[in-house]
Structure 1
């Protein structure tokens, strides 16, 4: 693991996901077929949400961070539904017209990450056992999300 802390590793994933989504917008605006770029970025984002909800949030919740974790879960649901809508627009329109939805997703991620990075991640570094941290680092390096997994609050409102 190159990163010294979970915060470093998880923030790196945020930056990579954002860069992939931004590349999709730029590519679409340039008239390129960049749906593969979007697929990579949304797959990475779904996997990232999975690792947080399955590995990071449960022990944080148990250690007393109930309210912040619930906020993150609610926002994950909104992010997940926006990804679903974006992917449907791309499928229906071959990527054209999806830039606005992708910008909406980037805006949601910016607001979400602005809370998650300074609050949740440092608490993970401080509160999680060494065993849980090792499990998270291992997943970050090579873990895969189970087929069909959906985040806790992805159901339509």
Structure 2
């Protein structure tokens, strides 16, 4: 990811998260048992992605004057977090394919709405506002960082 900007790397992560959820939904059709691994990986990746944004990316952007857009992103992170909780609970409870498809489709819809604002507004500004050092640290976190145990987004 070194040759990418931070914004490009975060957008690529969005696609990977969406792809994991979509792969799980596809596995619900016709299989005796759905393959939950892509979904679990996507949910874990999304939680880590939100952590990175809220703890490292948003504070300097907020300080640079993007308070309104950051407020919207934080509110939407809360919606995403609660929907992820719902999906995980349904999966743990053995919900049927129709319920899982519905919950995952709802999550994808929230992600689409969120990402359509975040990518052109937040990520473009991040690439301009953050210095090379900060961007490099966040790119490194994308490769190896983890969400601390028990961490929950601010609007959950």
Instruction: State the TM bucket, normalised to the shorter chain.
Output: over 0.9
Structure 2 counterpart of 1:39 = 40
User: Secondary structure of the residue that 2:16 maps to in structure 1?
Assistant: helix
Structure 2 counterpart of 1:116 = 118
Question: CA 1:37 to 1:95, structure 2 compared with 1: closer, same or farther past 3 Å?
Answer: farther
Question: CA 1:3 to 1:27, structure 2 compared with 1: closer, same or farther past 3 Å?
Answer: farther
Alpha-carbon deviation of 1:3? 4.0
Alpha-carbon deviation of 1:30? 2.7
Confirm or deny: 8 A CA contact 1:35 1:95 kept in the other structure. Answer: no
Asked if residue 99 in structure 1 is aligned to residue 101 in structure 2, the reply is yes
Aligned ranges for residues 1-157 of structure 1 at < 5 Å? 1-31=1-31, 32-93=33-94, 96=97, 97-154=99-156
Root-mean-square deviation (CA), in Å? 1.2
Alpha-carbon deviation of 1:95? 5.5
Q: Deviations over 1:94-135 (max 9, x none)?
A: 563211000000000000000000000010000012221121
Q: Matches of 1:30 and 1:148 in 2, distance apart?
A: 36
Alpha-carbon deviation of 1:144? 1.0
Confirm or deny: 8 A CA contact 2:24 2:35 kept in the other structure. Answer: yes
Alpha-carbon deviation of 1:35? 1.6
Alpha-carbon deviation of 1:2? 4.2
Q: Matches of 1:51 and 1:70 in 2, distance apart?
A: 16
Which deviates further from its counterpart, 89-98 or 17-26?
89-98
Structure 1 gaps, min length 5: none
Confirm or deny: 8 A CA contact 1:77 1:152 kept in the other structure. Answer: yes
Confirm or deny: 8 A CA contact 2:2 2:139 kept in the other structure. Answer: no
Alpha-carbon deviation of 1:148? 0.8
Q: Matches of 2:137 and 2:10 in 1, distance apart?
A: 13
Q: Scaled by the length of structure 1, what TM-score is found?
A: 0.93
